[in-house]
Chain A
C-alpha cells in the first residue's frame, strides 16, 4: 500500500460539539474562514495541519449541539475523508449525509478509546466495505455499513445534487402527463 494514500487519524474524545467544530463567533463568515478555527478550543493543531484524506475518529455523541451544518461543512472543506465514531448526535448525522460527508459507526467492541488507533496513525478507508485499515498497527476496523438511503446521498455528493437530479426528473409544466 502506498503511503501517499494513507490519511492521518485525528483522535478526539466524547461529545465533540458543533461549537468546537464551527465556533459561534465566526459563524457570520464564509466557510473558509470558519474552517481556520475548526476545533481551536480543543486541538489548535487540527485546522492548521489537517490534510485532504485525513480521518477524524470520535467517541460517543460526536456532533452534539447545534443544527449549524457548518460543523459538517468545515470538515468537508478541510478535506476530511470520513468521521468514524462510537455514536453521533442525530442532527449532525443527518447533516453529514446531506453534505456528502460519510459518517460511520465504529464497532461496539472493543470499547477501548478509539479502538486502539494510535494518535496520528496513518490509515486507509474503504467506503464500500466500511473498513478502516491501519497497516502499521496491523489494525482492521469493520464499521457498520452506511444505510442504503444515506449511501445514495453520499454517492450523489449530498442533498443538493440529489435534489437537482430529482427536479430534472419532474414532468415539465407543458407536459401532458397527469399530475
Chain B
C-alpha cells in the first residue's frame, strides 16, 4: 500500500529516483532545468568553471536570460551582459533569450517549464515555475555552479502548507491581493522554507498569468516552492506556447493525494477579499486599499515578473481606459516580456495605457531589482506592482514604496493618491 503523498513529495520523489519520499529526508535530486540570468549567472559561474576546468553538465538543460542589466545603462552593465552573450556561445547553450524580458516569464513562455519537472533558477522568484506544477526554487550562484557541474542538488524534502481559497474573487480583486493578504497574515517567513501549495476553487479559476503571480511571491511568503496542481488551464497555456500536447499527458498524477500529510491547511474566502496595499518596508504590511486614501503618490509603477505580464497590463487598461493620470504622477510601464508587450500592442491594451499618460520603459527587471535604471529619487512616494518594497530597494532609502495590484496602481495613478480600484471600475 502506498502512503498518500503531497504534490511536492511526488515531484521530489521523481527527481531523486524514488517511489516515495518523506518530509525532512535529505535527498539528492537530478535537475531537469537550470535557469539563470545575467546578474547571478554567467558572470558568477564562468570564473569558477574555468578554474575547475570543466564545462556545464548538459547545455540543453540550461536557459539563460538577460534581464537585470538590460538595456545596459553604463559600461559596467554592458560588460556583465557581454559576459553572458559570450558564455552561452562558449558553452553551446542554445536556450538564450537576450533582452526578451524577465526570466520568470520568458522561460515558461518558451515552453521550458512543464508539469512534473524539478528545476532551479538563479533568482529568488524562480518559485514562479510552480505555477506549472513543477518543483522549482531559487538558489545562489555558487549553488548554481554546483548544479552546472554535476546536474544535481541536495534537498531536504519539504513539508507542505496548503492555502485553500474557496469561492471566487470579486471584480477588481486579483492574485496580487491574495498574496499581499497571505504575506500580511503569515509574515515573510510564514512559508518556513517549505512547499506552499495554492488550491481551491478560486485558484483553479485563475489564469496562468495569475497563477504565476501567486507562485512568484511565494518568495515573499518565505516558502521554498509555490505549487499549483496542473490542469486544463496549464495544458492550454503551454500548448499555446508551442509545447506539443502529447508531452502534456497524465497531468492528473501531479496533485496532492487526499489524506496526504500537511504541515498546515489554511482556508480563505476569496469573495471576502478587498484590494490590498502593503505599506513601505515589507509586503507583509498589507491592509485594505480603501484605508490608505490619504496617501498621495508621485510614481505609479507597473512592472516586474509579478506585475506586468499581459494580464496585468489588461487589468491596468481596464481602469485606465478613457482616463488620464493625475498631474504630477509618473506612471511607468515596463512590460514583463517582449512577447507580452507585442500582444498588448496588437490588441490595443498598450495604447490605452499610453493614451492615459503612461511612460513605456524597456522590458526588463528595471526598478524592481534596483540595479540602476529608473530607480526612485529621494523622498518620493510610489505605488508599485512589484514584489518587494524593502527600504532602499527600488531607489533612495528615503523613497517610500507601497505595493498593490495592477488595478490598484492604475487607479492610484488616476486619482493621484492610493485608491481602491473598485471605485473606478464600477
Contacts and interface: CB of A to CB of B under 8 A. Distances in A.
A25 interface: yes
B80 A28 contact: yes
A167 interface: yes
A68 B138 contact: no
Contact of B391 (A41, A87, A160): A41
A67 B138 contact: yes
Contacts of A98: 140, 142-143, 146
Q: Please classify the interface of chain B as helix (H, G, I), strand (E, B), loop, or mixed, using the class held by over half of its residues.
A: loop
Interface in A46-85: 60-61, 64-69, 72
B140 A67 contact: yes
A61 B222 contact: yes
A163 B390 CA distance: 35
Interface hub of A24, A65, A98, A167 (most chain B Cβ within 10 A): A24
A118 interface: no
A67 B193 contact: no
A160 B140 CA distance: 13
Interface hub of A27, A28, A163 (most chain B Cβ within 10 A): A28
B188 A28 contact: no
B390 A65 contact: yes
Given A67-B122, A163-B145, A167-B52, A25 B372 contact: yes
Given A90-B224, A158-B142, A25 B193 contact: no
B139 A67 contact: yes
Contact of A91 (B39, B139, B188, B390): B139
A165 to B, nearest CB: 11
Given A68-B40, A159-B146, A163-B145, A15 B48 contact: no
A149 interface: yes
B145 to A, nearest CB: 7
Given A64-B188, A67-B139, A160 B392 contact: no
Contacts of A87: 189
Contacts of A66: 123-124
A176 interface: no
A163 B52 contact: yes
A164 B54 CA distance: 10
Contacts of B123: 66-67
Contacts of B52: 160, 163-164, 167
Contacts of A95: 139-140, 142-143
B122 A17 contact: no
A104 interface: no
A89 B193 contact: yes
A167 B145 CA distance: 13
A15 B388 CA distance: 13
A158 B140 CA distance: 13
A61 B193 CA distance: 10
Interface string A135-179: 000000000000001000000001110011011000000000000
A95 B40 CA distance: 12
Interface residues of B, number: 47
Interface string A77-116: 0000000000101110111001100000000000000000
B397 A24 contact: no
Contacts of B76: 28-29
Contacts, number: 121
Contacts of B146: 98, 159, 163
Interface string B23-38: 0001000000000000
B77 interface: yes
Interface in B144-162: 145-146, 149-150, 154
Contacts of B189: 60-61, 64, 87, 89
B371 A27 contact: yes
Contacts of B44: 69
A99 B124 contact: no
Interface in B46-71: 48, 52, 54, 69
B370 interface: yes
A149 B154 contact: yes
Given A29-B76, A90-B193, A159-B146, A167 B124 contact: no
B178 interface: no
Contacts of B224: 90-91
Contacts of A69: 40, 44, 140-143
A55 B124 CA distance: 26
B140 A91 contact: yes
Contacts of A27: 39, 371
A90 B219 CA distance: 10
B385 interface: no
**Top-5 shortest CB links A-B:** A90-B193, A24-B370, A69-B140, A95-B140, A61-B189
5 contacts: A23-B370, A61-B189, A90-B193, A160-B52, A166-B150
Interface of B: 26, 39-40, 44, 48, 52, 54, 69, 76-77, 80, 121-124, 126, 137-143, 145-146, 149-150, 154, 187-189, 193, 219, 222, 224, 282, 369-372, 375, 388, 390-393, 397
Given A90-B222, A90-B224, A159-B145, 9 more contacts: A19-B388, A23-B370, A24-B393, A25-B370, A41-B397, A95-B143, A98-B146, A149-B154, A159-B146
